[in-house]
Amino acid sequence: MATRTTLKTPLPTTFFTLLSLLIFLSPSLANDDFTSSPCNLTPHPTFCTATLPSPNILSVHDQCRFFLNQSLVITKKVLEMVSSYLRDRRMRIPGSTLHAIEDCVNSAELNIDFLSIVLRAAERTAANSYQAHYYDTQTMLSAVLTNHQTCMDGFNEVTPYPRITGGLSSVLSNAYKLYSVSLALFAHGWVKNPAARPRTTMNRKLHQTILDGDEGLVVREKVVVNPNGSGDFTTINDAVDAAPNNTGTNNGYHVIYVVAGIYNEYVSLSKNKQNVMIVGDGINRTVITGNRSVVDGWTTFQSATFAVAGKGFVAVNITFRNTAGPAKHQAVAVRNSADMSTFYTCSFEGYQDTLYTHSLRQFYKNCDIYGTVDFIFGNAATLFQDCNIFPRLPMQNQFNAITAQGRMDPNQNTGISIQNSWIVGNDGNYSRVETYLGRPWKEYSRTVYVQCFMDGIVDGKGWVEWNGDFALRTLYFAEFANWGPGSNTTNRVTWEGYHLVDENDADGFTVYNFIQGDSWLPKTGVPFKAGL
């Protein structure tokens, strides 16, 4: 995770940190009537007004379409610029900077896809009938901002390269504002209210094992990975490469069964690998392991042992591990950028930055997560249900922060919701280790603990600052009906953004409301509880 410190002193400010700060210091939301002045309800009203060709004529829907089109144009420009650096053989770019550029290429390509999908839907759909697509569209536009921020964050982790940073600064800043304005215009003005969906009244239960077939699970094809040669493939990467591309998410799962064993592989499922399900033989039996880290020259984004971007991904009965250790700082076990993705009975093992819940909508059920500094982080709409969270023993002078959520815009539908889970100690004596529920990585960081057991390892303060008073007014940290010795809220922080919420507010962070999981989780065969 970029620009973060594992100690209690801030890292030096780099060019892109300053760029991000300038973006966040743009004028805040105004209270003017949205119908008469739509730009006033965006985070960048001056930029919005100055960019519009005719602000007094365009309807809010036309304005939204205009900014979406401008967003697509500038994204293609960003892609061309960053790609040109990779093609220019005269530039002697350090390896770590090349990784950051590669992150930008990846982010821009994803954003072109997302913006194209949104624009096609907006151009063929009447505004008053667009409500059914509200959640999907807001999710994609939220991810566009997250992807772009990932591009900028990558440069914070490498040695500054003035020729690149100088050339990109203006276009990256303008792109961020265009994305933010597009999201705001859609979220506040495209429809009056999101479409009402039928409420799920029963919770999903798993009746049979996934491999044997579940009544809600459709398997299109199943292949076997076994290193001894008795299966279809000997490596996970070979099986992933052979999986069909662009199948959509309504045609059943392509199942990859990985027999017990330790797989020293860096696995990446691209956006084209949709509806892939990887099933192992159990936690600590099927293990995918690696040791990349920021200290060794990778960006946080590229340090992942396992990465997935294909929509509809499911993982079952697998351990994902990064063995770089605490001294190597940011070292990701899993990076998840897959919409409507699910991890069931899996474990995630690392230290700093173990699980990167990068973007879109994600669900984790009956999983174990181990780590130290910010070990659950990212900017997806993420829900953990019935999970075990194990803070480990960090390096000397470090503290544990379980979460570092990265919501950077008030209109993003992202956050971390941890429901009915257990926070308990691991790795020995914790009397000298400060452990907190989370800290704000970005300005609108949002994390909620609902009905969780908190062991005595959780500091009475509960939450910890990122850097001074940064984000303490704009973040949203909340607790509801937690229990155990670490759940006592008597000495909790008194920040403006911290809340003790009631049942009604907590319900907004459930499977039904927060990730619309009742509409897509049933076909995975994974059990879930839709409400509190």
Active site residues: 374
Instruction: Give the closest residue to 262 by CA, choosing from 279, 290, 287.
Output: 287
Do residues 422 and 388 lie in contact, with contact meaning Cβ atoms separated by under 8 Å? yes
Give the C-alpha separation, 347 to 389, whole Å: 10
Instruction: Collect all residues with Cβ–Cβ distance below 8 Å to 487 and sequence separation of at least 6.
Output: 452, 453, 454, 458, 479
DSSP 174-209: HHHHHHHHHHHHIIIII-SSPPP-PPP-S-B---S-
Q: Calculate the CA 348 to chain-centre distance.
A: 15
Distance of CA 198 to the CA centre of its chain: 27
Query: In the sheet where 314-316 sits, what is the strand order?
Result: 219-225, 253-258, 276-279, 314-316, 341-344, 361-365, 381-385, 415-419, 446-450, 476-480, 498-500
Give DSSP secondary structure letters for 220-263: EEEEEE-TTTTSSBSSHHHHHHHSPSS--SSS-EEEEEE-SEEE
What distance separates the 2 farthest-apart alpha carbons in the chain? Answer: 69
For residue 369, which of 322, 439, 313 has the smallest C-alpha distance?
Answer: 322
